[in-house]
């Protein structure tokens, strides 16, 4: 913090003479304290040096055609009494000002700017216009009866108390998965050789999750590719002079639409830094199944033959999701969260497959079986709010 800023804040906080007289009718004492603390970190602050040697410090409330109106307190300029304490300074009498813009406490300029007023015709000079545009109330000298009216009339207050409705979330999810074991059980019920290799991914990234908040607590959203899964099981054997090889593959992609309700919610004043959310949604799964099978005849060195069989199909599944989430806000606009999801999906039915055999051998039957995608998922991620 540079010397100008230290001087600016010292004069403003130490030199004000007004009582903090704001209307608190609709707010508890605790919440109003939170609101005022946030405003102190976000308000526009000014120190005016006149040509006669006077110094006036406080909040830059409004700039009219020929005057600056300064509130010499650090409380919210809301209610019916604070305007009695306003001090008007004629623009043509100003030599210079130290000014720090207001707004979001993380986005505002922490340094004060020195604005030098011209000695003649200071009205509508560049410093005058800059202060007019950066005042708490830009267009007119109003006296808002309550905070909601003040916010609706003040660009600076809307930045200090943002109402962020759109949420973009991203993160990772992981959890239970029985797909590999279900595939191996189905193979075990056939005469295929035992699988020698299997692999699949169970940690998924979530990148396309958007939602909109209504009425402070209700959240409606959707997510593309909220879960993807790939499973592969392979087997090989050498039996009476011919080789058998197979590869069993499943790809699964899931999308969702959901509604959430904040049991414990934050508000535009961020009086609470965390939220506890419960929700439910519809799942839309798209599994794709594939199977490749081949055998190779090596009984007769003078005659070689190989056969290959392949089958694939896809399906659409519906499901239900129940979820709970905990969000912690570092500041308005960013939260870190953890969640748990219970996914209840329709089973994916794989029809019976008759696999060709060599010569007079009996065909190999892979029986009809079900693959399940119901599971519990754990999630970690970040959310950005607009």
- pLDDT tens digits along 43-68: 999 999 999 999 999 999 999 989 99
The enclosing domain of 130 has a CATH number of 2.30.30.100
What is the model's pLDDT at position 241? 60
**141 plus 172 within the same structural domain:** no
pTM score: 0.80
Burial code of 163-197, b = ≥16 C-beta within 10 A, e = fewer?
Answer: eeeebebebebebebebbebbeebbeebbbbebee
Phi-psi region of 124 (alpha: psi -120 to 50; beta: other; left: phi over 0): left
Q: How confident is the model at residue 7 (pLDDT cuts 50, 70, 90)?
A: low
Q: What is the DSSP string of 274-320?
A: EEEEEEEEEEEEEEEEEEEEEEEEEEETTEEEEEEEEEEEE--EEEE
User: What are the angstrom distances between the C-alpha of 190 and each of 13, 185, 233, 313?
Assistant: 82, 9, 14, 20
**174 plus 117 within the same structural domain:** no
Total number of residues shown for the chain: 386
**70 plus 208 within the same structural domain:** no
**143 plus 207 within the same structural domain:** no
Quick check: 9 and 45 in contact, CB under 8 A?
yes
| Token pair of 192 as six digits | 């295929």
Q: Range of 70's domain? A: 3-160
For the cut 50, the answer to whether the pLDDT of residue 18 exceeds it is no
- Residue 73 burial by Cβ neighbours in a 10 Å radius (0-12, 13-18, 19+): buried
**149 plus 241 within the same structural domain:** no
For the cut 80, the answer to whether the pLDDT of residue 1 exceeds it is no
**137 plus 213 within the same structural domain:** no
Non-local (6+) Cβ contacts of 129 within 8 A are none
For the cut 90, the answer to whether the pLDDT of residue 207 exceeds it is no
**359 plus 233 within the same structural domain:** yes
**188 plus 129 within the same structural domain:** no
**209 plus 126 within the same structural domain:** no
**48 plus 91 within the same structural domain:** yes
Q: How confident is the model at residue 17 (pLDDT cuts 50, 70, 90)?
A: very low
Q: How confident is the model at residue 19 (pLDDT cuts 50, 70, 90)?
A: very low
**212 plus 129 within the same structural domain:** no
**149 plus 34 within the same structural domain:** yes
Last residue of a domain, one of 160, 186, 216: 160
Last residue of a domain, one of 125, 160, 195: 160
Q: How many domains are there within the chain?
A: 2
Nearest Cα to 289, choosing from 370, 177, 355? 370
Non-local (6+) Cβ contacts of 127 within 8 A are 97, 115, 116, 117
* 39 phi and psi angles, rounded to 5 deg: -65, -40
Last residue of a domain, one of 100, 126, 160: 160
């Amino acid at each position: 913090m540079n010397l100008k800023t230290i001087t600016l804040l010292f004069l403003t906080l130490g030199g004000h003479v007004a009582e903090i007289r704001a209307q608190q009718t609709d707010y508890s004492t605790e919440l109003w304290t939170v609101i005022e603390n946030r405003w102190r970190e976000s308000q526009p602050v000014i120190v005016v040096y006149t040509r006669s040697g006077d110094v006036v410090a406080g909040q830059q409330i409004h700039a009219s055609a020929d005057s600056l109106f300064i509130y010499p307190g650090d409380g919210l300029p809301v209610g019916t009494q604070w305007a009695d304490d306003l001090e008007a300074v004629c623009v043509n009498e100003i030599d210079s000002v130290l000014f720090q813009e207001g707004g979001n406490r993380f986005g505002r300029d922490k340094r004060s700017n020195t604005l030098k007023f011209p000695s003649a015709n200071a009205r509508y000079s560049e410093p005058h216009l800059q202060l007019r545009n950066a005042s708490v109330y830009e267009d007119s000298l109003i006296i808002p009866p309550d905070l909601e009216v003040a916010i609706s009339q003040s660009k600076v207050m809307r930045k200090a108390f943002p109402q962020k409705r759109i949420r973009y979330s991203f993160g990772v999810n992981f959890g239970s998965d029985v797909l590999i074991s279900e595939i191996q059980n189905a193979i075990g019920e056939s005469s295929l050789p035992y699988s020698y290799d299997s692999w699949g991914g169970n940690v998924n990234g979530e990148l396309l999750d958007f939602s909109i908040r209504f009425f402070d607590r209700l959240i409606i959203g959707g997510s593309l590719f909220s879960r993807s899964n790939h499973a592969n099981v392979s087997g090989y054997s050498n039996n009476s002079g011919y080789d058998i090889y197979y590869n069993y593959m499943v790809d699964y992609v899931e999308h969702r639409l959901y509604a959430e309700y904040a049991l414990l919610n934050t508000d535009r004043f961020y009086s609470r830094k965390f939220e506890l959310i419960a929700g439910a949604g519809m799942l839309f799964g798209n599994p794709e199944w594939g199977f490749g099978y081949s055998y190779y005849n090596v009984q007769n060195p003078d005659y070689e033959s190989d056969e290959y069989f392949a089958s694939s199909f896809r399906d659409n599944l519906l499901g239900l999701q129940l979820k709970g989430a905990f969000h912690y806000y570092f500041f308005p606009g960013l939260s870190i969260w953890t969640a748990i999801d219970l996914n209840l999906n329709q089973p994916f039915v794989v029809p019976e497959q008759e696999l060709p055999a060599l010569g007079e051998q009996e065909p190999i039957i892979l029986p009809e079986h079900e693959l399940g995608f119901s599971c519990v998922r754990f999630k970690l991620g970040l959310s950005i709010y607009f």
